Amino acid sequence: MENTLKINEIFFSVQGESTHAGRACAFVRLMGCPLRCQYCDTEYAFTEGKSKSFDEIFKVLESYNCQLVEVTGGEPLAQKSAIPFMKELVSRGYEVLLETSGAYPIFEVPREVAIIMDVKTPDSKENHRMFWDNMASLKSGLDEVKFVICSKNDFDYMLGICERFHLTERVTVLASPSHNQVKPADLAAWMLESPNSVARLIRMQVQLHKVLWGAEVRGV
């Protein structure tokens, strides 16, 4: 049904990534994802969850008294009802963030929604899933692109993709070290030592929620 979504969890926490890191945020995590990134930290969302109506979801969101909402997953755009749900969020006055893998078209996402698109690197093992036409749909001044860096090879790949699509000229580009695969200090060194000027325009981030609560805690 159009007014229902398969929900893994709804929770209230501190935003851990993107330029919105540190802000109080209500999260709606949708169930299901066709990708199998080797670093995935939300595998429980693949199969755990149940259907909820939009009214049920909004009842929970209203209890948080927070106007910033992130729709995440899993892969939210794998569910067709995610688009009408985000439209409803916008119509109710929420500030909306969407975390998406880049594997699904984003052109139907409401223009008011800030898209945080994860560009899959070679070492994610899901690089072949990217829907590259999405690059033309990114909105300057609002959307962001994220690369999870698993190796120096991934770092160099990121620079190449940024140059190919002129990303740093259009949107905020985020580089995140893959947890337990790349030390944050190593990623920082690659950025500082790179002869490529594009590296000076990328924003490094770490997952704030893991700093606060650790890697295994859910729903925070």
Domain range annotation of the chain:
4-213
- Looking at residue 212, what is its pLDDT? 81
Tell me whether the omega of the peptide bond preceding residue 74 falls within 30 degrees of 0, making it cis.
yes
Superfamily of domain 4-213: Aldolase class I (3.20.20.70)
Residue 154 pLDDT > 70: yes
Q: Are 108 and 83 in contact (CB under 8 A)?
A: yes
Angstrom distance (rounded) from CA 154 to CA 177: 10
pLDDT band at 218 (very low <50, low <70, confident <90, very high): low
Give the predicted TM-score (pTM) of the model: 0.93
Strands (E), the chain: 4-14, 24-30, 50-53, 68-72, 95-100, 114-118, 144-149, 172-177, 203-204
Residue 62 gets which letter from DSSP?
A: H
Instruction: List the single range of 103-107, 130-134, 176-180 with lowest mean pLDDT.
Output: 176-180
Residue 74 pLDDT > 80: yes
Residue 38 gets which letter from DSSP?
A: T
Q: Which of 62, 109, 57 is nearest to 83 (CA)?
A: 109
- Looking at residue 220, what is its pLDDT? 45
The neighbour count for residue 64, using CB atoms within 10 Å, is: 17
Residue 95 in 3-state DSSP?
Answer: strand
- Looking at residue 124, what is its pLDDT? 96
Q: Which of 16, 19, 21, 45 is nearest to 32 (CA)?
A: 45
Average pLDDT value for residue range 65-77: 97
Q: Which of 57, 46, 102 is nearest to 77 (CA)?
A: 102
Angstrom distance (rounded) from CA 78 to CA 73: 9
